[in-house]
Amino acid sequence: MTREDFLKEARIMRAAQHPKLVRLYAVCTEDPIYIVTELMCNGSLLQYLRDGPGKNLLINQLVDMMAQVIFYIF
């Protein structure tokens, strides 16, 4: 990911405010660039779905989660 792409994603995260979204607290723009977010007690979404409690979710539950995300975006 390029620096510009990273900063673009950070701007999107800053603009997206919702109780079910991870909150962005800060962006460090000096090398190495990184973001500071609220703690996710279950790890990343990928970890949650692959190795955590989310691996037992049914397909209809996953589709419902995706629909909620899409509804928020639009």
Residues shown for the chain? 74
End-to-end Cα spacing for the chain: 25
Residue extents of the structural domains in the chain: 3-73
Q: What is the CATH number of domain 3-73?
A: 3.30.200
Task: Give alpha helix (H) positions in the chain.
Answer: 3-15, 45-50, 59-73
Q: Which residues pair with 37 in a beta bridge?
A: 24
Q: Is the pTM of this model over 0.75?
A: no
- From first to last of its 74 residues, the chain has per-residue pLDDT tens of 899 999 999 999 898 888 888 899 999 999 999 999 999 888 888 998 999 899 999 999 999 999 988 887 77
